[in-house]
Amino acid sequence: MRIDFVRAGLAGLAGTVAFDLVGLILGRGWWDIPQLLGMKLGGGLGMGVLAHYINGVLIAAIFAGIAPSLWGSRWARALLFMTVQTVFGVGLFMMPLLDMGIMGLNAGLAMPVVGMMRHWAYGVVVAWLYPLPEAVLQGRSAGAGARAGSTGR
């Protein structure tokens, strides 16, 4: 299966907006992550926003490449991918780099829960805007759909 990078990129941008909206709804403020990134990168809010949204695009492209190898519905695949990415990529790597401690616990006990909810919102939007072909969801390669059920003779 080929990756449609334009579609994945647009899905990643929309997913990042959903991530930010959930953060706002849950009381984290608008663009809290870009502000933190900008401060740590030394480039201000503009650089933080750019890094945040580029990251959203890149994660969507990685999801587009990995999702066919995962199992379950497109929603289950997105939630599984985002859970693993959030625990390992964010909680055990990014948050400690940002001086927030493992899983962001230095920022409070709610941080891991809010962070996971935000990443799940991102994943649901990406899965909605970057649907997988039915053949992939049924565990067949795209070319095998016409041969499903044949005896091979």
pLDDT at 52: 96
pLDDT at 135: 76
* pTM of this structure: 0.85
pLDDT at 146: 41
pLDDT at 140: 56
- For 149, residues 6+ apart whose C-beta sits below 8 A from its C-beta are none
H or E stretch at 45? helix 44-66
Instruction: Split the chain (153 residues) into runs of 10 and give each run's mean pLDDT.
Output: 94 98 89 90 94 97 96 94 97 91 92 95 98 79 42 41
Q: Phi-psi bin for 149: left (phi > 0), alpha (psi -120 to 50), beta?
A: left
pLDDT at 72: 92
pLDDT at 92: 96
